[in-house]
Amino acid sequence: MIYSWKDNTTCAGGVKLPTSLANLPCPVDCEAGFYLPLGTTTCVPCSAGTYSLSGGHKIHTWDSWPTRYLDTTTYCTDTMGRPVTNCNGWSLNGSFVDSNIAGLHNRKSVLNFQFNIVSNGSLSFETQVDCEYSYDRLILSIDGAQTWIKNTINPTRYTFPLSDGYHFVSFIYKKDSSVNFGYDKAMLFELQVLGLADASDFCDQCPRGTTSSPQATQCSDCPLNTYNNQLGSSVCIPCSDDEYAFPGDTQCTPRKACTVNDYQSLYTPCSLTHTRTEYFDWISPRICAITNVTLPPNVPDLPCAPCNPGEFRVADECYVCPTGKFSTIGTLSECTSCPMGTYAPKQLTLQRWDELPAGASSSCEGQCGTAGWRVRGDYVDSGIDHGSHSTSTLVIPVIIEASPTGWLSWKYSLNCEMLCYVDIRDGRSLITSTWHDSFTPVQNITGGPVKLPPGAHNITFIFGKFFGRRNEDRVMLYELVVEGVDQGGASECLNCSAGTWSGDESESCTACIPGTYSVEGSSGCSDCPVNTYQDLPQQTYCKPCGAATHTAPGSPECSTNACTYSPPGTSDSYDISLLTRQNPYGPIPDNRGVPLYHYYI
């Protein structure tokens, strides 16, 4: 191995060229967590505060443009590729780069990378696009082959394989002449290239707010109440007692004085006497300073909380009402039977939030102040003290058995001082999205009913913040109703619709058979009267029979009873009973203009 100065080198002094090496093994590949120092033939472990990817390079700090292994350029043009003066290409923002043409029109912001892949190459990156869907867009170009990177509500990771050789990669954000939407930009948070030449010569530094142990392949966030603000730091520095830091923070934050919003009320299990004790505890992690606010004393002998509508209570447990029974307030020890002519529809009604429903899950990603959603009794909220690029997610699984469809309804409030959003999904697609960027809270946002086809669904509520300080921004979900579920209780009895009937304690109504009918709320079907009929099921009336035909009560069709016809002045008799069949062909006028009908019998 021979070292030489690069062409056109103008520096003097400083580092000397390493000694040339002979008889090196070919090639020298270091495993992840190791690197090959210049002038040596042996891989050594990365030191604390650094890491390596074995022939790869990851960029997750954007204080300056990368120069090692990657050639980087950025610029801005109009949509025809001509230079313009009012934009400069992508901009550095510390933890990400963005397309930097928000509010402009008919522009392209381009970010280029060039590099050489020697083996087993791949390109991975984490990006988020928030713009006018389809009209404004982010395009990834790899050696001229283009891929549309679509809008996402969270930073999303993509990976593309790369063949050996030189590659030219471009991130192209295009703006049309239409409206601006959302943040009107593309953001690139992380870029990783594997298979680079000479990428094992160095270990990469851990980003601020993280550290690593020796021989690391990745970095870890500094733990709660510790921080660091240096690249490649081998230690996390503890905060003082009057400060706090969330995992991954680069500085400590002074603790504000605790308020009533910093503790929560909890309850002991419900006793056999239907009472419980309320007690209080700090929300974890506690980030406030205990000064003039202390936890309230316990409150014993409180009545147990009511169950949700459609449920009844036995000791400390809530149970779904049995088939054909209902409960409106959930305070009773049993449910009430639905009378004849009504039915008890299965539904999931969530109005009490002392705990999450069975099978539900909660999580938070990004700069999270709480570990997802919190039950608060009268509502469930997305948590507080979330920072930029955080998403708090609540998932409630349901199965719709109703045919042809189930229904979803909800009610919530939103408090957010900067740009945030609430997405509601059914596990398959987006149902609705609400954006808010005002200091004024939005109260009682109601929605639905929205159709849910039969099958399994994960009803998902997502609260997200793009930028903003850690504060009490949150969404509060008060009520969620899912109709047509397979496991649910009725909160009311509904009348059977006309054309159907039910007996006692029914969960559905039965269609009337042909020859019968019913009105709304019927406990049975009535026979069609004499000389009327009904040939279809689930009907609300009977049809009169035609001339020369009749019926007995409850008939699905009319009868001629061997209907005959004898022309005047003759002794002939004709059986015309088959003419009672419907749908004749005609009318067809004869040569005298008399309309005739043809029956095929």
Q: What is the DSSP string of 74-107?
A: EEEEETTS-B-SS--S-EE-BS-EE---TT--SE
Burial group, residue 345, by CB count within 10 angstroms (0-12, 13-18, 19+): buried
What letters, b where the CB count within 10 A reaches 16 and e where it falls short, cover 422-431?
bbbbbeeeeb
Q: What is the pLDDT of residue 341?
A: 95
Q: Is 350 left (phi over 0), alpha (psi -120 to 50) or beta?
A: beta
The DSSP bridge partners found for residue 139 are: 148, 172
Strand pairing partners for 476?
381, 413
Question: Which pLDDT score is estimated for 563?
Answer: 61
CB atoms within 10 A of CB 254: 10
Cβ–Cβ < 8 Å for 250, 227: yes
Domains of the chain: 56-196 (2.60.120.200), 346-488 (2.60.120.200)
Nearest to 320 by CA among 333, 334, 331, 310: 310
Mean pLDDT by 10 residues, the chain (601 residues): 73 76 68 86 92 89 88 91 87 91 87 91 92 80 92 84 94 81 84 84 90 95 94 95 91 91 86 87 88 91 88 84 89 87 93 89 84 88 82 92 87 84 84 74 83 92 79 89 90 94 93 96 94 94 86 88 70 68 65 67 55
Q: Percent helix, strand, coil in the chain (nearest 5)? A: 0, 45, 55
Q: Is 529 exposed, middle or buried (0-12, 13-18, 19+ CB in 10 A)?
A: middle
Can you tell me whether residue 199 is helix, strand or coil?
helix
Q: Which class for 264: exposed (0-12), middle (13-18), buried (19 or more C-beta within 10 A)?
A: middle
Nearest CA among 137, 136, 134, 129 for reference residue 177: 136
Tokens of 280: 């209080």
For residue 330 the two structure tokens come to 């959930």
Degrees, nearest 5: CA angle 502-457-403: 30
- At a CB cut-off of 8 Å and minimum separation 6, what does 343 contact? 324, 493, 494, 496, 502, 506, 507, 508, 509
pLDDT of residue 585: 64
Q: How far apart are CA 133 and CA 522, in angstroms?
A: 51
Backbone angles phi, psi at 199, to 5 degrees: -75, -10
In eight-state DSSP terms, residue 353 is B
φ, ψ at 262 (rounded to 5°): -95, -5
CA distances from 48 to 52, 238, 264, 359 (A): 11, 18, 40, 41
| pLDDT computed for residue 568 by the predictor | 80
Task: Give the per-residue pLDDT at 437.
Answer: 67
Cα separation, 56 vs 32, in Å, equals 9
Question: pLDDT value at position 260?
Answer: 87
